[in-house]
Each structure stands twice: as structure tokens, then as C-alpha cells.
Amino acid sequence: MIDTVIFDLDGTLLDTLDDLTDSVNFALRQMGCPERTKEEIRMAVGNSVDYLIEKALPEAHTEQDHARCKAIYEEHYRGNMQNKTAPYAGVDAMLRALSEVGMKMAVVSNKSDAFTKTLVAELFGEHIKTAVGQTYDRARKPAPDGVLYALELLGADRENAVYVGDSEVDALTAKNAGLPCVGCLWGFRDRETLKNAGVTVMIESPTELLSAIQTL
């Protein structure tokens, strides 16, 4: 019986796309590089900040360019990550419903650990106390390390947990961790992408999550 829910963050609980795009484009402008569209940023989010910067920079760039752009981006994002970011409609009600039935909850994200913890504490702290972001001593998603660490922190069993995310990275993370995956169709990827990634249970609204979990 499912008693634990592990969430992705960007594109699942939070619509962070505008702030991510603004910070990436700020860094690109400082580098004298062309800016990226919101759609380009959307498709680059989810793997890691290094992947995001790699995709944002022009193809012909050096390691030094990457390091400088990443540093500028992170400094800007640190002070601007809640300008436009907000929970998706229905997320707060969903978390409340999960809390009321006694579900253990955590967030596991490829966003930096500090940024992940800040956003979760400030926006979802009433319901989610465990947030695991990317660190340099733990393999990032789709490796299962972050999920397994979150389960350990929660005192939860993998056999009773589900992973909820919006991307092919999340689908593979769930598979690698041995968890079923629920795909969110309001996030950064479409139904076809999730289907091709092997996701068989998908929901169109946060209000559908509890009933979807009960079918697993």
C-alpha cells in the first residue's frame, strides 16, 4: 500500500519556467551571447544546472565559458528565484489532502540543494519537511541516489513509495529507484514524451493524484 510520495519540483509542484528563463538570459547577456526562448529553456530543464547552461550557450563555447555563465546564472537566480515562481493550481490542495491521509512526502530535484531546500521550505513547508537537491557528492537524477536518500530520511520503504514527476528524467529516475511513476501533464513535457519514457499512469490535474495513487 502506498504511504510515501516523492515529488520532482520544477514542472511538478512549481512553475519555475519564467524565473529560470530570466536568470539564464541575464547570464547570456552578460556573456555577450544570444538569449534563449522560454520554450528552449523548458526543454533543457530537469537534467541539471550544468545541462541547462550547456544547452543555453552557443555550441562553440569553452569550459571556461560554461563555468562563468553558470556562476553568473546561479548568483542571479539566488536573488530572483521567487519573482514569478508559484505552485501550480491545485498543488496546495493536493498536498493538504495527502497530509490528511497520513502520506509521507519529500521532494527530490536536480535543482541545487540550497535552492531546492529554500523553495520547498518557503512554499510547501507546512506539508513537506524533506527536500533533496543536487550536490556534488551524490549522483543526480536519473540516478536513484537522491530518491533512496529521501526514503531513508523519511523512514519509508521503497515498496510503499511512488515518484511523481513531469519529465523523461523523472520516469527514468523512478525506474532506477524501483518505484512506480505518476506523470504530471501540466509540467514541462507533453503526454507523448512521458508515454515514450514508459510512464503509464498520467494525471492532468493535481487533484487527481490521490485517486491515481490508490490504483497502484
pLDDT digits (tens, 9 = 90+) for 32-82: 999 999 999 998 887 889 999 999 999 889 999 999 999 999 999 999 999
DSSP E strands in the chain: the ranges are 4-7, 14-15, 86-87, 104-112, 130-134, 161-165, 181-184, 201-203
Confidence at residue 47, expressed as pLDDT on a 0 to 100 scale: 80
Q: Over 80: is that where the pLDDT of 159 sits?
A: yes
Confidence at residue 48, expressed as pLDDT on a 0 to 100 scale: 84
Q: Over 90: is that where the pLDDT of 174 sits?
A: yes
Sorted by where each starts, the structural domains of the chain and their CATH numbers stand as 4-15+85-214 (3.40.50.1000), 17-80 (1.10.150.240)
CA angle, 100 then 187 then 76, to 5°:
100
pTM above 0.85, yes or no: yes
pLDDT tens column, 115-151: 999 999 999 999 999 999 999 899 999 999 999 999 9
187: pLDDT confidence band, cut at 50, 70 and 90? very high
Catalytic residue positions? 8
What's the longest Cα–Cα distance across the chain? 54
Confidence at residue 50, expressed as pLDDT on a 0 to 100 scale: 92
Confidence at residue 197, expressed as pLDDT on a 0 to 100 scale: 93
Average pLDDT for residues 69-98, to the nearest whole number?
96
Confidence at residue 37, expressed as pLDDT on a 0 to 100 scale: 96
The helix/strand count (H/E) of the chain reads as 10, 8
Query: Over the chain, what is the mean pLDDT?
Result: 95
Confidence at residue 173, expressed as pLDDT on a 0 to 100 scale: 97
Q: CB–CB of 191/185 below 8 Å?
A: yes
Confidence at residue 212, expressed as pLDDT on a 0 to 100 scale: 94
Q: How far is CA 120 from the centre of its chain?
A: 11
